[in-house]
Amino acid sequence: MFLLNTINCFSTYNSFKLHLTLMLLLEYLCFTLKNNICESKMKPSRIFYSLFFFNLCLVFSNCASSVQTQLSNPKLDTVKAGQFDMGKMWTFDNPPLEYFEREYGFKPSEEWLEKARKCALKFDGGCTASFVSEDGLIMTNHHCGRDAMLTVQKPGEDLFKDGFIANILEEERHIPGLYVDQLLLIEDVTDEIKAAIKSGSDDNEKIKLKNLKIKETEKSYSEKTGLTCLVIPLYNGGKYSLYGYKRYSNIKLVMAPEFNIASTGWDYDNFTYPRYELDFMFFRAYNDSGKPIKTKDYFKFNPDGAKENEPIFVIGNPGRTGRLQTLAQLEFKREYQYPNLAGWFKDIYSVYFELFNKYPERESELLNMVMSIGNAKKVYEGTLAELNNDYLIAKKKDFEKTFQQRVNENPSLKNKYGKIWDEILASRDEMKKIFYEIDAYQVGGFRGPRYFTFATNIIKLAEQLKLPENAREEKFRGNPDSLIKKMYPAKLDVELQKKLLAVQLKHIEADLGKSNPLVDELTGGNSGDAAVEFIFKNSRLTSKDDFTALAKEGPEAILSSNDPFIKYVLNTRDKLAGLQQRANELNSGEQLNNQLLGEALFDVFGQSLPPDATGTLRISDGVIKSYEYNGTLAPPKTTYYGMYDRYYSFNGKFPWTLPQRWQKPAPELNLEYPLDFASTNDIIGGNSGSAAVNKNLEVIGLVFDGNMESHAGDFIFDPANNRTVAIDSKGLLEAISDVYKAKRLKEELLKGKIE
């Protein structure tokens, strides 16, 4: 039996240390048995305990190596695709009712689904929110609403630092431009859109006709219903649904906590679990008469919070996933696109974080940039790590193999779809050849210094001025002096621009090679800070006065200038245009193949698999559940005790400092109450602000994040470790009541209306 265990262990685990440990244990047992048992010097009980200890070592070795096994198992070709690899983001027009009943003993009715759909909202075109009272009270995340909040900050206030509470209705603040959308209509328009595509003669015309038909359909339905209507492609265009939204555009701020309790730990804790945050915010929808709206469609608030093992449904708007991507597409992301993006965001984050630490007086100016760029950095780094997870890729490989087999077994399907995978592979191989050049020639924008943009603009000015006045674009006609004045800002953060220039030069050199003539001409053969100083010494675009003087010298002076920025743009723009045209051709062909891939999935599997996320409303099921991480177990829930432990463990230092009112717990605050929890619901960016509800459609949590392992959700859902992270409604109510003393808000949440 024990030798069998050893053999099984060897066949499963490819770890030298484990093998060595087991061999030594086996040798010890054999020696003991030989020298003690035969000579009757060892008691039977000691024999039993020695053997038990050996078997226990095997068991513990098994547990401790479970994660490593997935990644280093030499038999990855035996890994099979999982039941939920395509996820659990179900559409409201095709919910898996039988699965819900089988899994949870609960089958939602049509009325249940309609109410869930109408209670949920899309917040400001990005995040998710929900109605949580009949008087239009809206719940979402702080990180979804913080930009809007700052637009109503009054002189002398610091809403980031101090938060905001409207103690009476009249104190709620209107936020111009903010809106929420409520999904009221879903219609299948697949036949109309596909007919338009089919009438095209080539790839470009097919895409053009598709887009025209979509616009026509949206306009027609909007005029007919009075709703904001959008055509949503599902299954990469295997199906098209029209969604009609009612828009609420009179929105007021009700309550926001302090930034440091909503984002404790900042980027360090972002996308991690265990977590200790209160990332919430409340707004209210008003009607045209200036009164709170009345609605029967709202989620009631459960004061007891989430329970382990009960079904949890997250109702929200997951952004985008690519779970139908082929292995060729994933390989391109893993080897080219994501290392490049992760590198860019890492370098840009370093720039802004350095300035943030250097200039504390600029906190309000730099904070959002640091948080936004840090979030993107962690997304790309985390997703790249999961793309390098051999076990997950093996699951994708098995799914693709099975999918292709099912297609090729059917002659009609093979004729229609059989070439998709080879054509996508060829397209990605072509993109690899031009990827780095495109990256090197695309300068300016948010990731680079503004000087390249100035160069592009002054070149455009020169070329327009060379034309007869009646042939110029409208804004270039007449005296150009006023236009020139507007082309360069009055103030420019030169320190920031220099640092961004250093980042841009680093990536240009990495893309093209240091010996490339374009790189040499741009940098004068220098690297790093020396390259930046060379360019600044030789450029006339680094100050407003020099820029203006050059612009007034006329077109010939501009176009013949030796300015490094101008020369680089002139020497690369035609190449870039040609490469981008080729990239667009490849992407157009691949876009149609992606649609065929979706149609193939639809033909083979029907609607048994959910479509990729599209930024539209979905329902995802799950339960609260622990998982293995860092060699230990994550708790299903965290508590206020944990929050204070983290605060004191870091000596109250940034970014784990707490707002003043939180530094000494209020006497009424029950530290044992749950703060956050982890569940197996399938979410992604866009789900932020989603309500987590029980089968009674009661709020038991507020979703605000996923864990690091959830980054794999871009291309595969792995229920073993992928977790949703949410605030527990019990802990949230405790904070509102006992720390913020927001009695009016507490009563409205508990009663579902204003009293």
Residue span of the structural domain in which 470 resides: 429-577
- φ and ψ at 64, to 5 degrees? -65, -25
- Are residues 729 and 664 part of one domain? yes
Q: Among residues 31, 29, 30, 7, which one has the least CA distance to residue 19?
A: 7
d(CA 151, CA 470): 43
474 belongs to a structural domain: yes
- Are residues 463 and 512 part of one domain? yes
Q: How many degrees, rounded to 5, is the angle at CA 111 between CA 236 and CA 188?
A: 25
132 belongs to a structural domain: yes
592 belongs to a structural domain: no
* pLDDT < 70 regions, the chain: 1-74
Helix, strand, coil shares of the chain as percentages rounded to 5?
A: 55, 15, 30
The distance in angstroms from the start CA to the end CA of the chain is 71
202 belongs to a structural domain: no
734 belongs to a structural domain: yes
- Are residues 435 and 310 part of one domain? no
Cβ burial, residue 393 (10 Å; 0-12/13-18/19+): buried
Could you tell me the two tokens for 488?
């360069």
267 belongs to a structural domain: yes
- φ and ψ at 142, to 5 degrees? -60, -45
- Are residues 302 and 363 part of one domain? no
Q: How far is CA 149 from CA 172, 174, 198, 267, 600, in A?
A: 11, 10, 47, 21, 45
d(CA 518, CA 507): 13
Who's near 629: CB < 8 A, 6+ residues apart?
273, 707, 709, 721
Q: What is the CA radius of gyration of the chain?
A: 30
Could you tell me the two tokens for 410?
């059917």
- Are residues 665 and 747 part of one domain? yes
Last residue of a domain, one of 74, 108, 130: 74
542 belongs to a structural domain: yes
Which residue type does 55 have? N
- Are residues 365 and 474 part of one domain? no
- Are residues 713 and 645 part of one domain? yes
Displacement of CA 597 from its chain's centroid (Å): 24
Last residue of a domain, one of 363, 388, 413: 388
- φ and ψ at 542, to 5 degrees? -95, 0
- Are residues 505 and 479 part of one domain? yes
- Are residues 654 and 714 part of one domain? yes
Who's near 95: CB < 8 A, 6+ residues apart?
108, 113, 619
Could you tell me the two tokens for 540?
């006339």
For helices 363-387 and 142-150, give the axis angle rounded to 10 degrees: 150
d(CA 128, CA 494): 38
- Are residues 629 and 678 part of one domain? yes
Contact in structure between 124 and 178 (CB atoms under 8 Å): yes
Considering its fold, how many domains does the chain have in total?
A: 4
235 belongs to a structural domain: no
Who's near 411: CB < 8 A, 6+ residues apart?
none
Contact in structure between 521 and 564 (CB atoms under 8 Å): yes
- pLDDT of the residue at 73: 52
- Are residues 370 and 318 part of one domain? no
- Are residues 472 and 354 part of one domain? no
- φ and ψ at 726, to 5 degrees? -140, 155
Who's near 519: CB < 8 A, 6+ residues apart?
508, 509, 512, 513
Neighbours of 72 (CB within 10 A): 14
For helices 544-552 and 451-465, give the axis angle rounded to 10 degrees: 20
Displacement of CA 669 from its chain's centroid (Å): 33
Who's near 626: CB < 8 A, 6+ residues apart?
633, 634, 635, 636, 678
Helices (H) and strands (E) in the chain, counts: 30, 20
Last residue of a domain, one of 518, 550, 577: 577
CATH number at residue 637: 2.40.10.120
Instruction: Give residue for tokens 């024990």.
Output: 2
- pLDDT of the residue at 298: 98
Supply the pTM of this predicted model.
0.84
- pLDDT of the residue at 40: 36
Strands (E), 103-171: 120-123, 127-131, 137-140, 164-165
- φ and ψ at 254, to 5 degrees? -110, -50
- pLDDT of the residue at 29: 37
